[in-house]
Amino acid sequence: MDTLAILPLAALMVGVLAELLLGRVLSPRAKGWVAFGSGLCALGGALALIPLISAGKVVEGTYFPWDTGVPLRVHVDGLSLLFVLMASGIGSAILLYCVHYMEAEPEGTTRFYALMLTFMAGLVSLVCSADLLLAYLSWEVIGLCSYFLVGFWYKDPAASNGARKVLVMTHLPGYALLSAILLLYSRTGTFLWTDPAIRQAFTSGLFLLMLVAAMAKSVMFPLHTWIPEAMQAPTPVSALLHSACYVKAGVYLVARMYSLADWPGAWNTVVLALGCVTMLVGALFALIQVDLKRLLAFSTISQLGYIFTGLGVGTGLGVVAGLFYCLSHGLFKATLFLCAGVVQHATGTRDLRRLGGLAARLPRTARIWLVASAAIIGVPLTNGFVAKWLLFTAALDAGQVLVVLIAWLASVFSSFYILKATVSVFYGELPAWLQSRRIEEAAPSMQVGMGVLAGLCVVFGFAPQVIVGWVVSPAVRSLGFAWAGQVSWLGVPAGPAGLYGAAAAIAALAALLVGLGLYRLASAPRVEPVGIFTGGDPLAAADSMLDAADFVGTVEEAFAPAYRIADPDPIYLAVWRRLQDLVGSVDRAVTPLLEGHPLWATAAAGAVVLAVIWAL
Amino acid sequence: MGNPAMTSGPVESWDPAFLGVFLILFAGVAVFAGAFPQGDRRWWRLLALLALLITAGMLLGDGWARRLLLDAAAFVAAAMVCNRGTPEAARAGRTYLGLLIVSVICLTGGLLLIPDGASAPPYPWNRVATGLLVIGFGLKLALVPFYFWLPGVAAAAAPMTTVLIVSVVDLAAVSECAHLRVAAPWVFTGTPHLWLAIALLSMFGGALLALAQRDLKRMLAFSTIDDMGYLVLGVLAGPGVGLSGALAGALGHALSKLLLFGSVGMAEARLGGPLSLESRGLAARCPVSGAAFIVGALGILGLPPTFGFVGRWRLYLAGAEYGGGTLVLAMALATGVAVLYYARAIHRVWLGAAADAPLPREPRLATIALSVLMIAVVTLGVFPGAIVWQLP
């Protein structure tokens, strides 16, 4: 059992060592295969744990002593396994994609692969750690990996600035987590979260401290503004960061807090409110983006809002919804990013205003994108539909009608921005500047990487009971929820309660099939340009020069007050400038006086110290 | 001289660890000075003398002979500052020397007032002794409000001389302070609020003034003041997690500061001028220096998985146990400010586009020394057992 518990982590660390030791002799391609092999071994280790964990067991082990009284202790339960599977599974697909993507990179590929594997290992270590101090260590290792990966092209000022924002905005709130852990230790004398004493000592203050750390990692409003700046990273990094290994760390922490304490209603309310606000803010900002990766970044913010909302509902079904959404988001968001990477690789731009008509040149990528787009929008037969269905059901069961309305509104926005991106990139006519350019479809290894992820979106959309039964349910049970429900085909809850849902799902599916059949019968599909997406009626011919930016302008105008209120960056910037001005003034006033007359200054300070001692 | 405090005491468990790190630092400084001259031949002689005095002092155990040797080492360091030969260095050296004399007088006076080297003398001598010791350690460790010599020394002295002062001489003083905490706890427990105030003032004062600096070496000097605040807090918290945190923190500080000053010194020597926030994109031209600065900064900030974290989590825990949530959050806030100025330095000076033409390759020996240190800082963070078992 011990060996199984450490296997995924060990496989990844062996990969890191191999990259560092063999970096000088291996080609970039070979390094990619080594990294992929390492990820695959980690995935194998995670899969081997499924039978034990789904049977309700916990796998534990104690390894080398890291520090005095702090050994490396592993505790793998259902929740850990879900995240290990996500990190190793999605991570492996991304690494496979990297083999070709990074092949032509002139320098830094050893650094790149070592960091990618450490990134994955960091998440695995975080979710498997029984020791809160080592969990914090892993938390920060993840943070540093993302910092270095976002700044991979460190000579590019945009990448460097993006990395700085990642470091500052995610590391600083991390001190809240460290403080909470150390305060817990000072009250209980243990770092082990499995120790019952932790449950007794866990207070609302500690909950809030941990929540702040989780908010920054999981891009909750108002700590979300670092993620669009992180888009300067190589695309596989963005994919990993958004799907599996970074933003999900905060989700894990919030879910794990169900193991640490019995949540009073107020905690649920706080998490629900955060989730709802974030899903709306993220979707609103995604609407106005003209950079494909920035659009996807804001979409991540919105989607993480759904996940937090699921966790915040606080019922067994809510947590099922949150965790299923978490897994689903990992799959479709990684796919979307990888497709965006192909587009950028092929055209050299991510600007929606300069793209179009790529479905004809990148047909396989376009199909994969469509599947993932359908999933993120929540089209039936995809995992995104199941995730939303579960979430809406859980919220309705808990009487949270307002939450459902907000989630519905955010879903409408999601449909708009994803359609905008889809049409702007893949449909319409190929722009003149691209017509003479050689646009190559993604290499087979890249297609396999993306294709597997997109395929899983459909598999888990059609038969979600597989993943719910084997992975999500054990995770929910490990958090202390006695959820006995089941999910059937297409995500419909099994049993009498799911009858209405089942009927609705069948009706929706039948409508889709009938529509498709009629369309096929009425006209054979042919490739032809389509009008630009406007979010409304087709444009008149005179307006055919309009593009995605015009849609952006309209939305921006319509929601102008919301954009002003929902962007906290001007506040952060003002605080930073004020702080700099203040310390600058103090330095200018104090330094010449004190450093210019050190003996007098020392005498004065000494007199003050002696006076204080006498007064005490 | 019948005062028992003047006889030799035991070699504390952490002394070998300190000595080991000091020897690594001397080797690193020597390699670096071999590649980039830090002074004339006298500088090398002074370095050898400093190494000898520190090594002998650390081997002697607690007592007057040790204090004498460590104080002598500090005076040698002051001579090394003056050795640079510039008017600024001479002025900084004189200031350092003058305040060092005051510090030694205060410490000696304070210790002489402690009858058996441990028990508190009767009122009012207990207060006089405490006051003298606070001033003496405050000056030696450059704590707020006694830090006035350090920024000038950092800006004017050769980088490796500064490293020797902030990483060897100062930390030998931290070790002395820890010895005193064990032998005569009343010095700290009698006036805890004063020590706590000095620790917090150093943390926040150092961090905020570092944020105001544009010269990188002055920024690093204020960062040292900031860091000393945490170490003093650890010493104040006392045996257990506080003292071990202070000592582990001191060792981490020493290694990281060598990386920071080494990288700045190497870049300055190759560019022919001081580094400031106006410098741009140096990592593209001096990649090893850039990496060393980043690793050193992460180590000083106490980020895992560097060795700095091993000391920092203990110090935070000491804060939590000593002052509860408020103190630990205050410490986190001070560290947050430190993150801001280090992040600014990394991203303005080192990362980003290089403004000028590329430079020739960095000297091989110096890059090897910095690389070994970087690996050490990370390896000791992942496997700290080799060092922490020796801490109290």
What pLDDT band is residue B9 in, cutting at 50, 70 and 90?
Answer: low
Partner B, chain A 155-194, Cβ-Cβ below 8 Å: 155-157, 160-161, 163-164, 167-168, 171-172, 175-176, 178-179, 182-183, 185-186
Of A157, A583, A610, the CB nearest to B212: A583
pLDDT of residue A597: 92
Q: What is the DSSP letter of A472?
A: I
- Given a cut of 60, is residue B45 above it in pLDDT? yes
- Given a cut of 90, is residue A615 above it in pLDDT? no
- Given a cut of 80, is residue A549 above it in pLDDT? no
Amino acid found at A292: L
Q: What is the DSSP letter of A350?
A: -
Torsion, Cα of A272, A276, A277, A282 (10° steps)? 130
A179/B98 CB distance under 8 A = no
What pLDDT band is residue A540 in, cutting at 50, 70 and 90?
Answer: low
**With the C-alpha atoms ordered A579, A582, A585, A586, is the resulting torsion angle positive or negative?**
negative
Of A185, A580, A591, the CB nearest to B317: A185
Residue owning tokens 């970039």: A28
Q: Measure the CA–CA gap between B162 and B215, rounded to whole angstroms.
A: 15
What pLDDT band is residue A495 in, cutting at 50, 70 and 90?
Answer: low
Tally of helices (H runs) and strands (E runs) in chain B: 17, 0
Q: Looking at residues A520-531, what average pLDDT do you find?
A: 63
Count Cβ neighbours within 10 Å for each residue of A208-230 and write b for 16 or more, e otherwise.
ebbbbbbbbbbbbbbbbbbbbbb
Distances from the Cα of A300 to the Cαs of A247, A297, A325, B36, in angstroms? Answer: 9, 5, 12, 50
The nearest CA of chain A is from the CA of B214 a distance in Å of 10
What pLDDT band is residue B59 in, cutting at 50, 70 and 90?
Answer: confident
* pTM given for the model: 0.93
- Tell me which chain B residues have a C-beta less than 8 angstroms from the C-beta of A179: 316, 320, 325, 328-329, 332
Q: Looking at residues A516-532, what average pLDDT do you find?
A: 66
Q: What's the whole-number average pLDDT of chain A?
A: 91
Partner B contacted by A583 (CB < 8 A): yes
Q: Measure the CA–CA gap between A270 and A289, rounded to whole angstroms.
A: 29
What pLDDT band is residue A552 in, cutting at 50, 70 and 90?
Answer: confident
Of B134, B320, B383, the CB nearest to A186: B320
pLDDT tens digits, A257-268: 999 999 999 999
What pLDDT band is residue A497 in, cutting at 50, 70 and 90?
Answer: low
pLDDT of residue A529: 59
- Tell me which chain B residues have a C-beta less than 8 angstroms from the C-beta of A608: 145
Amino acid found at B45: R
Closest by alpha carbon to A418, among A550, A556, A303, A247?
A303
- Given a cut of 70, is residue A1 above it in pLDDT? no
pLDDT of residue A534: 55
What pLDDT band is residue A35 in, cutting at 50, 70 and 90?
Answer: very high
Between chain A and chain B, how many beta carbons pairs sit less than 8 Å apart? 158
A387 in Cβ contact with A321 (< 8 Å): yes
B347/A161 CB distance under 8 A = yes
- Segment holding A25, helix H or strand E: none
The nearest CA of chain B is from the CA of A212 a distance in Å of 13
What pLDDT band is residue B7 in, cutting at 50, 70 and 90?
Answer: very low
- Tell me which chain B residues have a C-beta less than 8 angstroms from the C-beta of A599: 98-99, 102
Tell me the H-state helices in A23-69.
28-54
pLDDT of residue A323: 97
Residue A387's CB is within 10 A of a number of other CB atoms, namely 32
pLDDT of residue B2: 38
Partner B, chain A 116-135, Cβ-Cβ below 8 Å: 133
- Segment holding A74, helix H or strand E: strand A70-76
- Tell me which chain B residues have a C-beta less than 8 angstroms from the C-beta of A183: 320, 324-325, 328
- Tell me which chain A residues have a C-beta less than 8 angstroms from the C-beta of B343: 164, 167-168
List Cβ neighbours of B243 (8 Å cut-off, separation of 6 or more): B178, B181, B182, B234, B235, B237, B391, B392
Three-class secondary structure of residue A263 per DSSP: coil
Which residues are paired to A70 by β-bridges?
A: A67
Residue A154 — φ and ψ, nearest 5°? -70, -15
pLDDT of residue A486: 76
Q: Which of A150-154, A553-557, B354-358 has the lowest mean pLDDT?
A: B354-358
Burial of A27 (0-12, 13-18, 19+ CB in 10 A): exposed
Distances from the Cα of B25 to the Cαs of A262, A603, B84, B168, in angstroms? Answer: 51, 34, 20, 8
- Given a cut of 50, is residue B5 above it in pLDDT? no
Amino acid found at B57: G
Q: Which of A54-68, A474-488, A493-507, B199-213 has the lowest mean pLDDT?
A: A493-507
Distances from the Cα of B281 to the Cαs of A499, A616, B351, B352, in angstroms? Answer: 64, 52, 5, 5
A353 in Cβ contact with A548 (< 8 Å): yes
Burial of B102 (0-12, 13-18, 19+ CB in 10 A): buried
Closest by alpha carbon to A36, among A105, A107, A116, A111?
A116
Q: Which residue of B has its CA nearest to A64?
A: B383
What pLDDT band is residue A103 in, cutting at 50, 70 and 90?
Answer: very high
List Cβ neighbours of A270 (8 Å cut-off, separation of 6 or more): A208, A211, A312
At residue A508's C-alpha, the angle toward residues A506 and A511, to 5°, is 105
Q: Looking at residues A183-190, what average pLDDT do you find?
A: 95
Residue B85's CB is within 10 A of a number of other CB atoms, namely 11
- Tell me which chain B residues have a C-beta less than 8 angstroms from the C-beta of A579: 211, 340
Closest by alpha carbon to A479, among A332, A260, A182?
A260
Residue owning tokens 């961090």: B207
Partner B contacted by A463 (CB < 8 A): no
pLDDT of residue B3: 45
pLDDT tens digits, A122-174: 999 999 999 999 999 999 999 999 999 999 999 999 999 999 999 999 999 99
Distances from the Cα of A523 to the Cαs of A526, A529, A530, A570, in angstroms? Answer: 9, 16, 16, 53
The nearest CA of chain B is from the CA of A363 a distance in Å of 37
Q: Looking at residues A524-536, what average pLDDT do you find?
A: 57
pLDDT of residue B4: 43
pLDDT tens digits, A504-521: 667 777 887 888 888 777
- Given a cut of 80, is residue A342 above it in pLDDT? yes
- Given a cut of 50, is residue B46 above it in pLDDT? yes
Q: Measure the CA–CA gap between B122 and B125, rounded to whole angstroms.
A: 6
Q: What is the ipTM, given to two decimal places?
A: 0.93
